[in-house]
Structure formats: C-alpha cells, structure tokens
Structure 1
Amino acid sequence: MRIPVSWLAQHLELPEDTTPEQLADAFVRVGLEVEDVTSLEPVTGPLVIGRVAEIEELTGFKKPIRHCRVEVGTVPASPDQGQEADEPDGNSGEDAVGRPDLREIVCGATNFREGDLVVVALPGTVLPGGFEISARRTYGRTSDGMICSAKELGLGDDHTGILVLPSGTAEPGTPAAGLLGLDDTVIELAITPDRGYCFSVRGLARELSCAFDTPFADPAKVDVREAAGEAWPTSIRDEDRAPRFVLTRLTSLDPTAPTPWWMRRRLMLAGIRSISLAVDVTNYVMLELGQPLHAFDTTALRGDLVVRRAEPGEKLRTLDGTTRDLDPDDTVICDDSGPISLAGVMGGETTEIGPNTTDVLLEAASWEPASIARTVRRHKLPSEAAKRFERSVDPALPAKALERAMTLLVRYGEATVHRGRTDLGAIRRPAAVTMALDLPDRVAGVRYERGVTARRLSQIGCHIEVSTVEGAAVVTALPPTWRPDLVQPADLVEEVLRLEGYDTIPSVLPTAPAGRGLTPGQRRQRAVSKALAHAGYVETLPFPFVSSSVWDDFGLDEDDQRRRTMSLLNPLEADRAELTTTVLPGLLDAVTRNVSRGRRDLALFHVGQVFRAKDEQPPVPPVAATGRPSDEEIGALHAALPEQPVHVAVVLAGQRELPGWWGSGRAAGWADAVEAARLVARHAEVPLRVRSAEYAPWHPGRCAELLVGDEVVGHAGELHPKVVSALGLPARTCAMELNLDALPLVERRPAPRVSAYPPVLLDLALVVDASVPAAEVTEAVRAGAGPLLEEARLFDVYEGEQLGAGKRSLAFALRLRASDRTLTVEEATEARDAAVAAAADRFGATLRG
C-alpha cells in the first residue's frame, strides 16, 4: 500500500522535525514491512498556475496538436505603458495595474478546455528527472513553456492527459510547488494477510501512534445520523457470506462537480486515478478507513436488491468490460434483472456511475474473507476492495464509512441525503481472551515495566480488565472489531512484544547438551559429499518431483518398481505431480539445462532422498486440527509414509579431463562413473564389488552392478543411447546411482595394521575369453592369492591376433606382504600360482607366454 506522509501526519501529534525515514523505521519496529520510501523529486524554477485563455487546434499532423495561449500571471505596468487621456479605448484601468502575461504553448493533450486551470512549467524550470524546460520551436509554432501532467510532476503514473485543477484553486501566476505539495514523501508497505486493518490510513496511523506513544485521532469517529426507513428494499439469503450489509442514498448530486484538489492529490500519490467525484469519494474513504464502498446508479436498478450466491449459468459484465461466467460459489448482489455486482470484488457495468448520474446508492458491507479470496482467484480479478475483504474488514465500519462518504458528497457535490438507511446483519465481535499478566515477560525472557501489558493492549483497541485468579494476576482482553486475529493468549503476547520492540528481546543461544552431535549416517553423508566435491563434482539440489513420462524415456519395464510412485495432491507443477523414486531425473534435467546454456563439460552429484511406495501402502488418515494428534494417529501417519532411503548419484558429460598444453584431454566414460562409486564406498568404509549387468536406463554392454557383500546397492556406467536421445543429453553421458542407506554403518573402525616387512611385487598376465568381465577375473585373483595379497591392480588390457580370436590379455600388478616376516620367493610364487589356478578354474584362464 502506498500512502503519503502528509496524510498520516494529519491524524497524529508528531514533532515537527519527524522525518519520513523515522516513520519508516517505526513501521518496521512494530512489525510492518516497508518496501520503499520515495520523496517527490523537487521542481526548481518558475512552476506556476495557469489559466487556458485560448486554444487553436493545429491540423496536418498525425496526432492532435494544440496551440494554446495560457495566462500565467500579470505583467506589471511600466511608466511608458499608459495611454493618452483622450484615447477612447476604455482599458486604461487595466494598464494601470498591469496586463495578463500570456504565453504561447504547444500541447498534445486534449483533456482540457478554455478557462481551465493548469500547471505550467515556464522556461528555466527543471522537472523531476532533470528535464529542463526552455522556449523552442515545434510544429511550426513557438512553445514558451510546458503544460504539465501528473506524471511529469512526479505526483503519479497517469500521463494520459495534463493535470487540470478545480476552478478557484488559485489565481494564475501562483507558485504551484507548495500548492501541489511537491515536498511530500510516499511510503510503500507490504501488508501481510493477518494485518488487513493496515490497508488504511486509519490502521497505519494507529500503528505509528503505538510506535511513538503519541495520541491518535481516529477518522472513524463520526456520528451516524438517525435513519427514517430503508434506503432501498434489500434481503440477504446467505448471512454467513454477508454478515452486514448497509445502503444509503443520495439525490441531486451535481455530476459535473470536480473532485477537490487535496483529495485528487492524495489519491494520485496512493496510486489511484481520479475519475469523478462520486467514484473518487468511495476510493478516498476506502483508503482512509479501510472500508471499501460501491456506488450504484440508482436509476439503473430494477426492483429490490438480493444478496445471494450465483446460480448456474448466470453471467455478469463487470466494470472492466469483461463478461464473466459466474460460479455457484460466487456471492453476488442482484436486482430483478439478475446479478449487478460481484460482491466484494467488482461492480457490474449496467449500474455504473456515469457522467450524468445524479441519484447514487452507496453500499458498504462485510463479506466472508475466504469466499472473496476464492472468487478473486477463480476469475483472476484482483481489486483494491478484494485485497481488503479477503483479509477481513472491521464489521463496525460500514455505517460510519457511508456517513463519511455522504458528508463529502454533500460538501463538494451539493447532494441531498435520503433520510432512509438499509442496515442488515449485526456486528460480530471477537471473543474475550484471558492470559496471565506476566506471560509476555516469561515468553520474551524480559521483565517489562509494570503496566506495560495492559497499556499496550489498550493501545491496539482492546478493552482490558485485570483481576486475580488463585493468587495470580490475569488480564482479560476484549479485542476490537478490527482485530479478528486475536483469538488466543499467544496473539496477545505477540502484540505486547512487537510494540515493545523485538530488538529489546535478548538473543541468547541455548547451551548444547553434551554427548550429542551428528548421527553416524549424517557423518557418512557429509563425508561422501565432501569426497565427491574434492574429486571435481559439483553438487546440485534438484526438486524431487517428476512426470510419469520420464519412466518411458528411461525405458523402464511396466512392472519396474521405480514406476510405483506417490502422487501429490497439490503439486507445484501440474506436469510434475509424482515424487521421484530415483535421483537421476533431477540430475539429468540439470545437465540438459546447463548444456542449453553452453556448458557441455559437466560432473554433477546429488545426495538426497527418494520415495518408494510400500508393497501395501496404507492411505493417509485424516487428522483433526483442533489439538495435538494422539499417539495412535501419529503412528498411523508414520505408517502411511513411503520408504525414503538416501541415494547418492553422479552424472558426467563431455570432457572429464580438459585439453590444453598438457595434453589432448579425455572424455568422460563409464569407468569414471564406476570410480565415483568406489570413491563413495571408500569414504563409507565398506568394500564394494563391481560386476557387469543389464539395468535401464544404462547401456546393456556398459553397465556395472555395485554390490556390498551379495546385496546390489546401485549401478553405474554409460546411459543407453535411446535415453540420451529422448532426454536431449550429450552423447555418451554416464551416470552412477547408489543407495547410501543400504551400505552398512561402520561404528568402530579398526586401526590400520602397518607391516615393517618389505612387499613382493609380481606381475601376472592372464588370457581369458573377451566376454569375461575384468572385474570378475580380478575377484578370482584376489580370492586365490589368499591373505598374503595386499593389492591386485589391473594395469593393462590387450587384444591381438597372436592371442587368437575372441581372446584378450589382462595384466595385473600384485603386491604381496606378510605382517610378521619377510616373504620368501617360494611363498610369493605359491600365492601367485594359487591366483592363476583360481582364475583358470572359474574362467579357463591361462598364463600368457
């Protein structure tokens, strides 16, 4: 909400030296969010009031152009200007005091006429933005100044026409800066849903009154005149939708009466365009008191008014010129012709106030906030009135707001007030709230001065009673009608604390209890993340939501367990409404997004939960919000949750080693994905085995199965070309995914045993069928060599004619060592021969000659 400081100050007794910045700081202290503080840019030079004396329409141009003669003051008479006594001109009196100062000005606006008062920037004036005015030749005429719009003066955003002042505002030549209030400041605030009363000068001034502890003049303190009969016959069919509905009528309104300048100025600074006196008054009262009003052209009404829900098939053409299909959940105001207003949101076009309207029916009501919010979202029709109604409006305001509006229309529009008033419904007052008098002190950990609680609650409008119950002082607060959010002791505590200042509450960190810290699983997860980051992988945080189509892109079988997902009732994106069963889709999305932005060499990782539906997944039970759930309900909620294991995954694309002067680089391959799995296993302190497998979405011939013991914990390798094509990934993209929770936790890590005896290094080359996986041959060598083997590392793979078709050579580097002695050559040879024998027994391996 935008509000000028001068308007707020009118209702407060603030020191004269109070700055707008101090007001903004005060708003922040009481819990309001200040978005901007904008001072109107100063205008220097001769900015004056002018009267349009003559208008000449210029032709021959693509747009309307006017050549105007504007009176901007009086030129003093000089001694030689007098006329001879016998001249029969009859103007000697005017010359004696000076003549009108007429300036020729070229203008493209058409919203003014001869005799209107305008704002003129004479040559030498510098307007906001550093725009300097000078006399110049344009459209074949001389323009000796500029007639200004509200936007050019910094008063608002309306630049559709120049600023026309009401007749009698000032005489031509009067300096305009002070009259226009160009020294004002506008404060813009973001009003939270629970502070709807702050959508008004009344509410904001009250907050400042609490912040500065200064008296507050409530603009809603008006005397409502007595009514004689009804203003218009009306009935309400759904009282829950319209707790209160008030109407009053004015006749003989002058439709040509201008809106007074002070009102137009405040509306412009608040961001509302001036339309007509009747409409401007309703907007002004809404900003001042927070009660939206609506004005009907009484002559357009047909029969009695009815407030009800819309019926199926009904339509309404609203003031924005759009015909809307009404929903049975919409609340409407109707006459005999059907709906004439979308209640609390926008009026209808058939009863709009027009340029000739003299008979006006004003409406002020209280509407159910939730229904207004649904209507706004359903029709995508936000309005200033709806902003207030969906946050709740003071139910005691309707009659007072109408009285204020009638007073303004009578004063400036010479209207006559109809003696009747329709007032349906009642004021629903909040229930009293009782709390311990020292509860704010105990919550904040601060000992406030005596009487602070009662004083602060009184400042926000509560009626306070302090009593003693069982020897303890308690306070009973009856909240005001504009604070329906005060329903429990915690709400009263918050009011006391925010008005006393959150900055007065000490920040004390609680002492961490001894013997607690990260769990073993959390420590392992952090170790894995750090290891991958050190290895050059970049962590991403993708959303855990996927589309069902991703499983088709992955090539999963119809009975694949990964297709058993959990659906969201209220997804962020309609096409991604399922919880993922693998972290790969989010990582691959990140790869696609990076590639589309020119980043092709990628190594990404993510550690996060996946969601696996149970074989018998129970439904989520309903739980009441009236109190804490029972232990049985909490157990049922936990049982309804899916399994959520933590997975770690990496994706590689492009170059793993970048080219440069040091070499030609190396493309990422399936071996890098397998090595990432080994890295994870090393930092999880578990042994990992690798063997070939076929598992979507990996390439059948380049997929490795990751095992801990006999349990499969993940897969790694190169993605299938069809998957790469379907997802738009770079060619030969590789990936690894591993179930981190499936790895056993090593609570006690044994100290490493370091042997003081030298190792025996041997090389071993075995010839096997090319179809035999190297990883399985490595496992056979390790098993055969026995406990003396420290390491068996594959360092060469060779295929050639001398080996024969379908054969390849695998060369291993063996390191043998005993912990208690120096190995003999015979012992080392025996271990090597045992390794060869094991490989020969399992795969028919032979020693390469």
Structure 2
Amino acid sequence: MKFSESWLRTWVNPTVSTQELIDQLTMAGLEVDAVESVAGEFSKVVVGEILEVEQHPDADKLRVCQVAGSPEGTKQVVCGAPNARVGIKIPFALVGASLPPGDDGKAFKIKKAKLRGVESMGMLCGETELQVGTDDSGLMELAADAPVGVDFREYLDLDDAIIDVDLTPNRSDCLSLKGLAREVGVLNKATVSAPDIKPVASTCDDTFPVSLQAGSACSRYVGRVIKGIDISKPSPQWLQERLRRSGLRSIDAVVDVTNYLLLELGQPMHAFDLAKLDSGIRVRMAEQGEKITLLDGQEIELKAETLIIADNSGPLAMAGIMGGESSSVSDKTQDIFLESAFFNPIAIAGKARSYGLHTDSSHRFERGVDYDGAQTAIERATQLLVDIVGGTPGPVVCEELADELPSARTVTLKKPRIQAGLGFAIPDEEVVDILTRLGLVLQSEIDNSWVFEVPSYRFDIAIEADLLEELARIYGYNQLPTTKMRIPAALPRLEESQLPEDRLARQLIARGYQEAITYSFIDPKLHKLFAGEQEHAAVELLNPISADMSTMRTSILPGLVDALRRNINRQQSRVRLFEKGLRFIPTANGLQQTQGLAGLIYGERDDATWTASKGGVDFYDIKGDLESLISLSGQTARFQAAKHPALHPGQCAEVFLAGESAGYVGALHPQLTKALDIKQNVFVFELDLDKIVAATIPSFKLLSKFPEVSRDLAILVDRDVTSVALMEEIQANAGDHLKNLKVFDVYSGEGIDPKRKSVAFNLTFQHPSRTLNEDEVNSPVAAIVERLEDKFDASLR
C-alpha cells in the first residue's frame, strides 16, 4: 500500500525522522518496500495565472501568454501546450528557476529566451516537467482557488515522501491510513488524531430498499441516497493530491471520495446512479451464466458461486470486486445511492483471480474488512460529498443478519506464558498498555491471566500465541534478549540399506547435470500434454496463484521441460537438468504423495572445445547416466521397451529394479516437442526415488585364483527379439559358473536376412576353487544354443 507521509502525520505526528519512521514500520512487521519523493528537485516555481493568450505570429503551435505570479509583475511567456487558455492557474517557473534533471542528469535552468523572435520570460510547466505526475498532455491545471504567486512546492506540500508498505495477508487492518496511524501511535506512544466523523443529518426522506439473500456472505449492508449533487464540481486539490500520492488518479468527485475512504478508513465503497437502479438492491449469489459488463469495459459471464449486487433487472456489481458499467456514475448523474458493506472474506477470496481480476477492493475484502466500519464510512463519505458536490442526503439504511455477523472474540493470556514464549518477562502494566493501545479491551484479570476482547478489525488475533507476537512486535524485536539454544547433538542413524539422496545428486552433478527446483503447481494444458488420456487425473486447486499454476503435478517432467524451454529461449544450446520432488497422484484412497527423481538432456553431447566430439545426445547417453546412477545402490537395472504418452513410441523403455517397475526413460514424443516449440530431441527419465535409494548391502566374496574361460556366441534372431530376453534365457541355462555376460555386437545388413539381426554375446565362466574343464563350459553353451533355437528360432551365425 502506498501512502503520503504528510497525510499520515495529520493523523499521528511522532518526533521521528522519515528514516526512523520507515525503520519502525519494518521492524513492526510492516515491511517498507520503497520510499520516493513526491516531486522532483526544483526551485523558483510559483502558482501562476494566465491573463491573456495570443497566437504566436510565426508559429501555429505556439501561443504568447501574459502570466501573473512573478513578484515583478506580469510576465510574457511563449507556450506550446494545447490547454493554455485564459483563466487557468498553472505552475510557473520564473527566470532563474532550476527544474528537475533530464535524461542527461543535469538540472534544467530557466533563462530569458526568444522563441521564433518573441521574448519569453519563464516557462509554464506540466506534471512530467516537475516530476509530480505522469500526465504529459499539457499544462498542469491547478484549482481555481490556488493563491497566485505562492511558492508551488509550499502550495502542494511537495516536500513529502511516498512510502510503499508491503503487508502480509494477515494484516488487513493496516490497509488504511487509520490502521497505519494506529500502529505508528502504538510504536511511539503518540496520540492518534482521527478525523471528526459525526452523523450527517438527513435532509430528505428518500431511501432505497435493500434485501440480503446470500446469508453469511453478506451479513451487513449500509446504504444512503444523496439527491441533487453537482457532479461537474471537481475534487479539491488536497484530495486529488492524496489520491495521486497513493497511486490513484482523480476521476470525478464521487469516485474520488469512495477511493479516498478506501485509503483513509480501509472500507471499500461504491456509488450507483440512482436513476439507473430498478426497484431495489438485492445482495445474492449469481445465477450460472448471468452476464455483467464491468466498469473497465469487460463483459464477464458469472459463475454460480459469485456474490453479486443486483436489482430487479439483473447484476449491478461483483460484490467486493468491481462495479458494473450499466449503473455507474456519469457526468449526467444527479442522484446517487452510496453503499458500504461487510462481505465475508471466505466469500470473496479467490473470486477476483478466478475471473483474471484484481482490484483494491478485492485485495481488502478477501483479507478482511472491519465489520463495524461500514456505517462510519457512509457518514464520512456523506460529509465529504456534501461539502464538495452538495446534495441532500437521505436517512442511512442498514440491513443486517445479526446471527450471521462475526461474534466478538476473547483471548486469554496467561502471565507465565510471556516468559516461556518470549524468553523474558514484561511488566504487567506494560503488557496491558501495549495491548490496549492496539485496540484490545481488557475484560478481566483472573488467576494470573488476562482476558482480552479482540477488536473487530483484527482478523488475525485468535489465540494466545497471537498476543505474544503482538507484544514482541511492539516491544521491539531488536530489544528481545539473545539466548543460546541448547539442542541435543544426536546424529541421525543412517541405514546401510538406504542410499543417501545427496549421493544421487552428486553423481548427476558430476556427469554435468544441474539441479532445478520447479513449482509443484503446473499449467493444466501442460499436464494434459504429458499425461495424455490414460494417466492420472490431476488435483485442481480451488484458489490458485494464477491460471497457469492451477494443477498439482503428477509428474516432475512438465516443470523440467518448461525450465528447458526458458533456457532455450535464452540461447542455452546444451542443457542438463534434474530435480527431486513430490508428485501428487489422486487414488481411490485419497491423494498419494510420492517422491520422484527426474532428469533431461538436450543439445550437444559435449561442451564446445577443440577436443570435443561432435554430435547431439541420444537415447544411450541418458541410459548411461541412469545406469551410472542406479549402480550407486548396487542394483542392476533392466530396461524393457514400453509405451508412455509423453515419450517417443520407438525410444521409450520401462526401468525395472529388483523385478519392479521403477520408472521410464526415453525421448520426448515428437508431437510434444512440436507443441512446445522445441526444435531438437529431448531425452528424459523419471524414477520412483524410494526404489533407487533401496541399496544392496555390500558383502565380501573371495576372489577366485583360477582362470576364467570365455566364449563368444553370435546368434541370428528375428529383429523384434530384444537383447534383454536373450540374456535372461542365457542366464537361466548357463549354470552356476557363469560370472559375466555382455552384448558386444549387434549387426543387421549385408549378408543377413533383412528380417533378422545378429546379436553377439560374451560369456565368462569361472569356478571359485578349481579350473573348469572343457566339458563344464561346452555343455552349458550347448544347452544355451539349444534353448535359444527352441524359444526364439535362433541360429548360430
């Protein structure tokens, strides 16, 4: 929230500097994000008034103005602004004035000059030239009652600072000058001088009926008719300036006043054109498919769970979010209906974001607005409007559902809990002083404890620990004593059968990967691309951070591939990423959270050096990385051709560990890479982390002193027979003395039936206590060949 320091000091004015005030707010948990000056550095600029305007004799776009405001009398100034006209009051930079620096960083000095042969004694200024605003369309027009000749900085109180406070969601009470002043007053034990808000007596009998039909979503609605306003009257300069310094622009007096109350009291309000309302206000839930055109011109199709303000003709506003165009105040408005309501935060939370909206009103209502502040805001708004635009106010109408309003809350604070919770004792009188200055009411003091009633604007205080936090905040975190923590130094037990996860990370890093951390929430479109129709349905968030982060991931790969796209878009041509994290899979027994490990490789096989081999990565690069990773646990992986909706049908393998499926490895599906606009192949793997870290405990085995016997077998088989199937049969029929088995050649081409291939195996036999004879080796080899012939129609090459 942005606010003007000078405005805050009209409420509470402690004897501290701007920097000390900023430090106090930050240390109290109201972090200050930025501080900036209200205007640029300039001098010798006064309030001027244009008395005469003539066309420049030699320039169509220039005018010669006679301007009052200089101590030396009327001055002639040549001006090119389109809105220069007789009678307006503007900032007038006198000869010798210094204006804010331009792009070159140098201050701009005003001198006597001749423009197209006509003498000019000064400069008439716009907002951007003085750095007091962003409107560069012409001269800055001041109020009609601005005193001519007065220093411009003094007139608008420009020796001021704009403070931007970043509030946590629980501190909605500080989304107003009233709340911030209360905090500053408590921190400095200073008196807070709030505006004198008295009930405005009704001078007409007009009312407008209100009906509450949404239960607890809206339990209090305050309204008032004001007739005969003059909408053409502008807001006073002080009000426009306070809005501008809070980041809001002036629109018209009615809208300005409602915006002003939002900033001053934290109560969002809305004004309807009474002539555009039909019969009565109805606060109800929307009907599915109802439409409303908002003040910003958007047409919205409403959902059934959206709270709206309506009349007999249909929706008028999205409650707590934005008003509708059809009932808005315009330059023809004469009568208005002011509303000020309490909307349950739960009814408003997330609704604006679900429509792609975010407004100052929704920001406050979804965090909680004081349910006792609606009537005060109506009276304050009536005061200001009658003073600015006139009119005759009717009686205040307050409709409420007493049973649905929040009930008064009490919290008990035990005195010993202060010492136990904060580490030191605070005198009883100081505890009561701090909490009562924050607005809590001491109801009783019984059995070494206090009972406090929580004020209606503090939605965040519910339990004893909240009161301890308030005491620590106001007492001062930097004044809390420092004590050394005593923590038992027991080392965690590390099971040998469990491989530490950091070993996996170090292994991948050693092979050129970088660890990534991506969100657990992903775009539903991205989930559908990876999951296809056969995979798990994902959990949809009810209140997502944004529309593209509304689905809980069932796989780590979508986030990793999205990170790859970002790297590619930033000219990274060789990428290796991995991530460990949770996956969220709905099952019949509820949401299952599983730990996964995923990785990807993309681009060239090696970094670009004069010794590096050329060529892009392929399936066997990532398969080798995976085998290296799995070998850390002492397990042997088995890879079997498989299908996965996100992977290439011809380059996809299911990974088995200890006979159980542990995940997949392969190339991303070509349709997927095309949809994601990735030009080269991407190879990925994703495994169940708990299956990889299940390590085999090492055991000692005597090395044989006797020689190994090696045999090579080249087998001709059909092309669709896998090497894994052949190896399983060889191991099953090789007997007890087979020590090692590996594939050393695969060949298809000239000299072989096109429908068949040659697979060559090396078999190594060894006995632990003697030398094997020829029969002990030849016999299992013959059995192997016979078994392969029977099962796979194999033949020796």
> What TM-score does the superposition give when structure 2 sets the normalisation length?
0.80
Q: 1:214 and 1:595 mapped to 2: Cα distance? A: 57
Q: 2:88 and 2:24 mapped to 1: Cα distance? A: 42
Return the letter of the residue paired with 2:187: A
Answer with 226-235 or 38-47: which moved more.
Answer: 226-235
Task: Give the structure 2 partner of residue 170 of structure 1.
Answer: 147
Aligned to 1:680, which of 601, 616, 629?
629
Task: Give the structure 2 partner of residue 96 of structure 1.
Answer: none
Q: 2:670 and 2:780 mapped to 1: Cα distance? A: 38
Question: Contact between 2:185 and 2:192, CA under 8 Å: does it hold in 1?
Answer: yes
Return the letter of the residue paired with 1:2: K
Task: Give the structure 2 partner of residue 626 of structure 1.
Answer: none
Q: 1:836 and 1:327 mapped to 2: Cα distance? A: 73
Task: Give the structure 2 partner of residue 530 of structure 1.
Answer: 506
Answer with 132-141 or 389-398: which moved more.
Answer: 132-141
Distance 1:66 1:804, change over 3 A: closer
SS at match of 1:563: coil
Task: Give the structure 1 partner of residue 66 of structure 2.
Answer: 69
Q: Does 1:563 align with 2:535?
A: yes
Shift of 1:106: 0.7
Task: Give the structure 2 partner of residue 211 of structure 1.
Answer: 187
Aligned to 1:157, which of 117, 134, 147?
134
Distance 1:154 1:828, change over 3 A: farther
Q: 1:383 and 1:680 mapped to 2: Cα distance? A: 50
Shift of 1:683: 0.8
Q: How does 1:664-679 map to 2 (within 5 A)?
A: 664-665=613-614, 667-679=616-628
Shift of 1:770: 5.5
Shift of 1:104: 1.5
Distance 1:708 1:3, change over 3 A: closer
Shift of 1:475: 1.4
Aligned to 1:766, which of 698, 713, 721?
713
Shift of 1:20: 1.7
Return the letter of the residue paired with 2:18: P
Task: Give the structure 2 partner of residue 6 of structure 1.
Answer: 6
Return the letter of the residue paired with 1:457: L
Distance 1:371 1:745, change over 3 A: closer
Q: 1:338 and 1:227 mapped to 2: Cα distance? A: 29
Distance 1:686 1:118, change over 3 A: same
Task: Give the structure 2 partner of residue 147 of structure 1.
Answer: 124
Distance 1:770 1:567, change over 3 A: same
Q: 1:645 and 1:337 mapped to 2: Cα distance? A: 52
Q: 2:77 and 2:277 mapped to 1: Cα distance? A: 52
Question: Contact between 2:633 and 2:696, CA under 8 Å: does it hold in 1?
Answer: no
Question: Contact between 1:780 and 1:835, CA under 8 Å: does it hold in 2?
Answer: no
Q: 2:399 and 2:527 mapped to 1: Cα distance? A: 58
Answer with 266-275 or 303-312: which moved more.
Answer: 303-312
Distance 1:660 1:405, change over 3 A: closer
- Higher alpha-carbon Rg: 1
Distance 1:507 1:233, change over 3 A: same
Return the letter of the residue paired with 2:157: G
Q: 1:348 and 1:575 mapped to 2: Cα distance? A: 27
Task: Give the structure 1 partner of residue 88 of structure 2.
Answer: 116
SS at match of 2:70: strand
**CA offsets, 1:677-735, max 9 Å, x none?**
43233211224456x64555777877666554555555656678788778776677555
Over aligned residues, Cα RMSD in angstroms?
A: 4.8
Q: Does 1:21 align with 2:19?
A: yes
Return the letter of the residue paired with 2:26: V
Distance 1:485 1:139, change over 3 A: farther
Distance 1:47 1:217, change over 3 A: same
Task: Give the structure 2 partner of residue 467 of structure 1.
Answer: 445
Shift of 1:30: 1.9
Return the letter of the residue paired with 2:590: A
Q: Does 1:102 align with 2:52?
A: no
Distance 1:653 1:730, change over 3 A: farther
Distance 1:802 1:599, change over 3 A: same
Task: Give the structure 2 partner of residue 641 of structure 1.
Answer: 591
Aligned to 1:56, which of 51, 54, 78?
54
Q: 1:727 and 1:42 mapped to 2: Cα distance? A: 47
Task: Give the structure 1 partner of residue 694 of structure 2.
Answer: 745
Shift of 1:29: 1.9
**CA offsets, 1:101-127, max 9 Å, x none?**
3122313242x6423321112344333
SS at match of 1:73: coil
Shift of 1:832: 5.3
Task: Give the structure 2 partner of residue 494 of structure 1.
Answer: 469
Task: Give the structure 2 partner of residue 480 of structure 1.
Answer: 455
Q: 2:13 and 2:526 mapped to 1: Cα distance? A: 65
Q: 1:244 and 1:306 mapped to 2: Cα distance? A: 10
Answer with 737-746 or 202-211: which moved more.
Answer: 737-746
Q: 2:681 and 2:303 mapped to 1: Cα distance? A: 54
Q: 2:421 and 2:714 mapped to 1: Cα distance? A: 78
Q: In structure 2, list runs of 5 or more residues that go unmatched.
A: none
Shift of 1:27: 1.4
Shift of 1:206: 0.6
Task: Give the structure 2 partner of residue 432 of structure 1.
Answer: 410
Return the letter of the residue paired with 2:426: Y
Q: 1:548 and 1:256 mapped to 2: Cα distance? A: 50
Q: 1:724 and 1:547 mapped to 2: Cα distance? A: 17
Q: 1:705 and 1:320 mapped to 2: Cα distance? A: 53
Distance 1:609 1:13, change over 3 A: closer
Distance 1:446 1:664, change over 3 A: same
**CA offsets, 1:286-328, max 9 Å, x none?**
4323334545666x47797544438869877665566777777
Q: How does 1:70-469 map to 2 (within 5 A)?
A: 70-75=67-72, 100-110=73-83, 113-130=85-102, 132-134=108-110, 143-172=120-149, 174-219=150-195, 221-224=196-199, 230=205, 232-238=207-213, 241=218, 243-247=220-224, 249=226, 259-277=235-253, 279-295=255-271, 300=275, 305-309=280-284, 320=296, 329-332=306-309, 334=311, 344-345=320-321, 362-371=338-347, 376=352, 382-408=358-384, 415=390, 420-425=395-400, 430-468=408-446
Return the letter of the residue paired with 1:119: P
Task: Give the structure 2 partner of residue 44 of structure 1.
Answer: 42
**CA offsets, 1:597-653, max 9 Å, x none?**
55454444444555666xxx53xxxxxxxxxxxxxxxxxxxx3234x5545455445
Question: Contact between 1:136 and 1:143, CA under 8 Å: does it hold in 2?
Answer: yes
Q: How does 1:574-613 map to 2 (within 5 A)?
A: 598-608=571-581
Question: Contact between 2:257 and 2:384, CA under 8 Å: does it hold in 1?
Answer: yes
SS at match of 1:218: coil
Shift of 1:38: 0.8
Q: 1:209 and 1:190 mapped to 2: Cα distance? A: 19
Q: 1:847 and 1:375 mapped to 2: Cα distance? A: 72
Return the letter of the residue paired with 1:12: V
Return the letter of the residue paired with 2:65: C
Shift of 1:754: 6.2
Question: Contact between 1:689 and 1:706, CA under 8 Å: does it hold in 2?
Answer: yes
Shift of 1:665: 3.9
Answer with 21-30 or 741-750: which moved more.
Answer: 741-750
Distance 1:461 1:378, change over 3 A: same
Q: 1:358 and 1:717 mapped to 2: Cα distance? A: 71
Identity %: 28
Shift of 1:262: 3.1
SS at match of 1:456: helix
Shift of 1:330: 4.1
Q: How does 1:767-786 map to 2 (within 5 A)?
A: 767-769=714-716, 771=718
Q: 1:337 and 1:551 mapped to 2: Cα distance? A: 41
> What TM-score does the superposition give when structure 1 sets the normalisation length?
0.75
Question: Contact between 1:316 and 1:325, CA under 8 Å: does it hold in 2?
Answer: yes
Question: Contact between 1:40 and 1:185, CA under 8 Å: does it hold in 2?
Answer: yes
Return the letter of the residue paired with 1:467: E
Q: 1:785 and 1:138 mapped to 2: Cα distance? A: 104
Return the letter of the residue paired with 2:74: D
